[in-house]
Structure 1
């Protein structure tokens, strides 16, 4: 680890980090910052982007906070834009400032899209009272208004190959809760178990930032204890959004920003499948791509900024209609009501039924990217099932860690199911091998996945390969079983809306309004569907966000006619 310059008496003050490859400039900016902010903040400086990232990782592991990042644009090996983009994955809420010369102002303007830049400063910044401090004051004020969550680490102790331990780690990671992971074989893990009075048989053990020990907690209990909101502030809203993927987040942002009292209900973590994507490169406005986690975090903060409530670990089990009121029942027996509802529950990956896979789920077999496991895949072979964009993005992501990535597809090529830009990227990576017309026939292992049987889809002879990692990205099953017969769905379970509800006899059965259903409206007036859960929707992030916004405009129209 690098040396943390600026450590004051061992106190974990929020950090202001500055990085410049010119030692004289680095010392000067750190001096000016300490003079103004040294009592409340710890100023940390680095001489290169690589060193700065090392410092940020150290701060992250220690559970500390970073308020502002200042990076010089012209640095060798890693320039300021590249550093700030990488730093976003570690401290997404830190405010970002680029130090640049007048000749590089075009680069600073481009950075607004690439790294969501908050400000750029021209060098020299003297006098600091006029050119530096007002900018930093504004950055700190914005950071304090929406600071990082309490960053003292949550600690998890469990078995390396344990499905319950993976479930806990995955839940925290997807909700962007910082944690430290110890196995029961680690000396520190054993010390924590002893301190909590828990044996190695009673794991996973979660120790909260307040020191509370939770033994194999449910997601609802875990969410409550780590500071996520799980209960609504009231029992009636203008709009309830069910599902926190791109469509749900889009609806929450537009609903709240347009004055509707809005609450979003999410069963696991906001972002949905898109939130697990390591890189989304075809989303408008991000020419260099953006990770699903970054996009989700920005959307979540945006929704909260406009006043939307975001609830986690809320499992909805029933939708009921009482006059003009729409009621959603929760698993715990409580309920919430609203004038209108937007269904944005998305889809889940289809489960493979090959022998052995179900037993090894969470122990080498995973559905989705499971990015928490990526470092453990270092120098090993990784197998990925799927030929769509999500599988391609995962292949690119795991190729940074694995010695070889095997992409298993049932078709003859990727052309029919994957975007061309991803196909081109995969072809350029020597460590990614595409196995066409191939499927998983069986999985084997005791504690964890050890071998896979692969076979041609035409039924030819199979072969067994050594494998510890299998990630599955196939199919799209709508998460709509909980709806029962409340709304009309197609044979696959997707919600029917708008014109799809009309037949030769007119509106759907039970429709009592003197108009046809709006484009995104379900068979219940005032209940809309957006994103992947809707029948015949376009399965892309941008279209899901657009449908979320469109659904809100239709909610307004519905509310006006209901008055």
Structure 2
């Protein structure tokens, strides 16, 4: 086998609590790969994780990890899940007996497992080596270089610190968090000649200090693309949620020069979900971050550009071109545009909530805050799937999770499977007919005043964490005067534009608008921003693909 350029520091690791099996696996691996790779073996998940951390600190690369399923204290799936945090690029193999193949199949979704091997694998030339060969080739084709770590110094109750952590996490940028109260945090502040009054401080991999950085500046310094490579495209996709990513994948894969523009982070609301369990093909669910990462990699592999932290402020028609204007005054143009801007969670109007935003009051799942909820009481406002998924996830950390639901029960807005799951978790409580009347706190959330609907009694509860999921508002104000919307701001398209049998005002073509086409020819809409859309991940992805099909039809007739 050809030796990779960095083979002297590249590791294949095997983990098995049976010393005899451990030695046998290492022996077989050394026989085939010992000249090109270091073979490291461990006999427990704990010792393997310690070795992985040491390799990380030294800058060594780990190409493949093979872990036995049945290990005491920490089984192979649990180990691989934790190993992903240390060496996310390593290919993962589970060694299992025939009786445990069900667990191995489940692990494909839980830890993004690459392969599972049944024991025994004799002869290795037929059952072991071909699998490892393929995984090594796949690893070498991937961007397996260790990513230098970004450092963030902030404070738990700093809203800007929370925003920066969420931005980095959702954009899959690895970072290390340091509290400004801790010695290392103070050392980093001193090195940057900062006194801690302005937070967060972000130190980029090349050592550049950024104080309270804006998203665009932060994105540019941590390696995210923010500048388009061209002035003109076949297709501009605005919004990077499931609909936008679906459109980017299908547009680029079908030969359209495609650019996707996202104002914050790809994934949209779905990307913030801790677990999506009703998406086709993932019987055990998939996290929004995992689904987003796979879709983003798929889009870029087909050649789509993805621009992050770019806010679109206008859409203009210039003859056959559709011109997209950015907040900094720059612009790009294209033959066609797909609007996949999605929606944002509505703000809670109760007094005190605006002032405490990011300091105990969070909109969306804010998964980066979940570990800090350990053994504390958490409140969630909302009764739809996003609120239920957040409750299930946060219940793993918090002492208690209380869902505050305005309506009489959950059945009107939450999927049945999720209601059943919530009912089986002992530390989740549901308070129906309840709203937040006021949030209290000095610098961070400390208490909530809750009120029963219909003039019910009020009571005050201690609370440091409030997560809000109260409906969706479309991000479409910037389209005012160009694209027709309904009274709530959702974009009208296709049949909704021609309800009386006549084309919309200003429509000059001799055909009616296509199904997802707006009142501007060549401008389409997909996903949650469309009026009367299904508000589901699967339908959003489908609409993104369908919009690309209609773009092709439009381009053929233009």
What does 1:59-70 align with in structure 2 at a 5 Å threshold? 66-70=62-66
Which of 423, 428, 435 is residue 431 of structure 2 equivalent to? 435
| Change in CA separation of 1:466 and 1:265 when aligned onto 2, cut-off 3 Å | same
On the 8 A contact 2:158/2:199 being kept in 1, the answer is: no
* TM-aligned CA deviation for residue 61 of structure 1: 8.5
Distance in 1, matches of 2:416 and 2:52, equals 35
TM-superposition CA deviations, 1:49-68 (whole Å, max 9, x none): 56656766777799875432
2: CA distance, partners of 1:112 / 1:461: 49
Uncovered stretches (5+) of structure 1, i.e. residues with no partner: 1-10
SS at structure 2 position matched to 1:464: strand
Is the contact made by 1:64 and 1:151 (CA closer than 8 Å) also made in structure 2?
no
Inter-partner Cα distance in structure 1 for 2:452 and 2:329: 48
In 1: Cα distance, 2:443 partner to 2:59 partner:
32
Alpha-carbon distance in 2 for matches of 1:535, 1:63: 50
Report the counterpart of residue 327 of structure 1 in structure 2. Answer: 323
Matched with 2:16 is: 20
Alpha carbons of 1:175 and 1:34: their partners in 2 closer, same or farther (altered >3 Å)?
A: farther
Offset at residue 142 of structure 1 (A): 1.8
Aligned residue number for residue 381 of structure 1:
377
What is the match of residue 497 of structure 2? 501
Alpha-carbon offset, residue 438 of structure 1: 0.4
Name 2:169's counterpart in structure 1: 173
Contact preservation (8 Å) 2:109, 2:286: no
* Cross-structure match for 1:422: 418
Which residue is equivalent to 1:243?
Answer: 239
Aligned ranges 1:134-173 → 2 under 5 Å = 134-148=130-144, 150-173=146-169
Q: Which residue is equivalent to 2:3? A: none
Aligned equivalent of 1:30: 26
Deviations 1:535-562 (A, max 9, x none): 0000111111111111111111111111
Q: Provide the C-alpha distance between the structure 2 equivalents of 1:153 and 1:479, rounded to a whole number of angstroms.
A: 33
2:390 counterpart SS class: helix
1:486 to 2:479 alignment: no
Distance 2:72 2:97 in 1: 15
Say whether residues 1:226 and 2:222 are aligned partners. Answer: yes
Shift of 1:308: 1.0
Is 1:369 aligned to 2:339, yes or no? no
Deviations 1:186-243 (A, max 9, x none): 0011111111222111321111111111111111111111111111111111111111
C-alpha separation in 1, matches of 2:88 and 2:516: 34
Contact 1:238–1:261 (CA<8 Å) still a contact in 2?
yes
For residue 97 of structure 1, the aligned residue among 67, 73, 93 is 93
Shift in Å at residue 30 of structure 1?
3.4
Preserved CA contact (<8 Å) 1:20 1:71: yes
Q: How many residues end up aligned between the 2 structures?
A: 552
Asked whether the 8 Å contact 1:64–1:152 carries over to 2, the reply is: no
Tell me how large the CA RMSD over aligned residues is.
2.6
Q: Deviations over 1:78-136 (max 9, x none)?
A: 55455545655665543222334567667656655665443344444456566544433
Flag the 1:87–1:181 CA change in 2: closer, same or farther, 3 A.
same
Residues 242-292 of structure 1 deviation map (CA, whole Å, 9 limit, x = unaligned): 111111111111111111111111111111111111111111111111111
Q: Does 1:517 align with 2:513?
A: yes
Pair 1:555 & 2:528 matched: no
- For residues 450-461 of structure 1, what are the structure 2 equivalents within 5 Å? 450-461=446-457
Q: From the superposition, tell whether residues 413 and 58 of structure 1 become closer, same or farther in structure 2 (CA, over 3 Å).
A: farther
1:461 to partner: Cα distance: 2.8
SS of 2:528's partner is helix
Tell me by how many angstroms 1:324 deviates: 1.4
Distance (Å, rounded) in 2 between the aligned partners of 1:106 and 1:458? 50
Which among 343, 354, 369 is matched to residue 339 of structure 2? 343
Q: Secondary structure at the match of 2:278?
A: coil
Q: Which moved more, 1:193-202 or 1:429-438?
A: 193-202
1:410 has 2:423 as partner? no
Q: C-alpha separation between the residues in 1 aligned to 2:58 and 2:512?
A: 58
CA distance in 2, matches of 1:79, 1:168: 34
**TM-score, normalization: structure 2?**
0.92
Question: For residue 271 of structure 1, what is the aligned residue in structure 2?
Answer: 267
In structure 1, distance between residues paired with 2:307 and 2:412: 38
Secondary structure of 2:206's match? coil
What SS does the aligned partner of 1:531 have? Answer: coil
